[in-house]
Amino acid sequence: MWNSFWSFLWSTVVIFAFIAYLMILFNILVDLFWRDHKTSGWIKAVWVIFLVVLPYVTALVYLIARGKGMAERAREQALQAKRETDDYIRQAAGRSPAQEIADAKALLDAGTITHSEFDGLKAKALGQQLAMDRMVR
């Protein structure tokens, strides 16, 4: 099949171009059907038809015409996923440091713990908050 260096090089270029096209195609399809909720179904169908009939030209036109919006939608989706993850981490971590400190203050006011124990509980709660903030970032 590869009887010379040039045929091997040409095959490598063709395979690279095909894989690059597939990656671009999947990004375009994800953008059309999962991220872009404003474009009508007919317009989406026209894009898909052209992606099948004239694949490279249509992909290039799509990236030029809608690339900025594509990037903005991808960024917004990533930010939404980060917010959901952060909310889940906070929810799974349990009580907030403010709740821990308020409970410790109630114990201090009731005379159950000393002021130094209160300071230790407060430092522990604030330390957990700092650790959680580092995990989220």
DSSP string, 3-23: -SHHHHHHHHHHHHHHHHHHH
How many structural domains comprise the chain?
2
| Percent above pLDDT 90 for the chain | 52
Give me the mean pLDDT over the 93-120 stretch.
85
In this prediction, residue 133 carries a pLDDT of 63
Domain match, 79 and 27 both: yes
Name the least confident of 6-15, 70-79, 97-106: 97-106
Domain match, 68 and 130 both: no
Domain match, 15 and 26 both: yes
Expressed as residue numbers, the domain containing 103 is 95-137
pTM of the model: 0.59
Domain match, 102 and 48 both: no
Contact 44, 37 (CB under 8 A): no
In angstroms, the CA 73 to CA 82 distance is 14
Domain match, 79 and 103 both: no
Domain match, 12 and 63 both: yes
Q: Check whether 131 has a pLDDT greater than 80.
A: no
